[in-house]
Amino acid sequence: MTLAPESPTTGHDVDVRFSPDGTPLAIRHDGRIWMVDPDVHTAHWFTRNAWWETRARAAIGTGDLVSVEHWQVQAKLPSANAELRTFTLRREPMATVWQLESIS
């Protein structure tokens, strides 16, 4: 399934490649690689998981169970005339996989 601005769908797992300093460089989605434009502002923030709704429990020392990490980046396919799209990415606490929240 391909996400399009006309019909955004959330929750798709994506692979994200990061630079050594932790900034996203590329996103693999739907079999294609989208290159993050390093000259366009990226946003990085954290929100809190509603732990009281999920009732997630863990042993002491397990790690951070409430911080949800987000990135918003501008990326495009590597073709010469490709247009930039805004990708919003999300990673749940303790997850190793990134999810695509939206493309616009």
For 53, 64, 71, 84, the CA distances from 22, given in Å and listed in that order, are 30, 18, 11, 21
Of 12, 17, 74, 15, residue with least CA distance to 43: 74
pLDDT score of 80: 82
Nearest-5° Cα angle at 63, 58 to 69: 115
Q: Rounded to whole angstroms, how far apart are CA atoms 75 and 39?
A: 11
Task: Specify the pTM.
Answer: 0.80
Residue ranges per structural domain of the chain: 12-103
Q: 97: how many CB neighbours lie within 10 A of its CB?
A: 10
Q: What is the pLDDT along the chain (104 residues), one digit of tens a residue?
A: 444 444 445 678 999 999 999 999 999 999 999 999 999 989 999 998 776 676 666 667 766 778 899 999 999 999 888 999 999 999 988 888 999 999 99
Report which secondary-structure segment, H or E, holds 24. strand 24-29
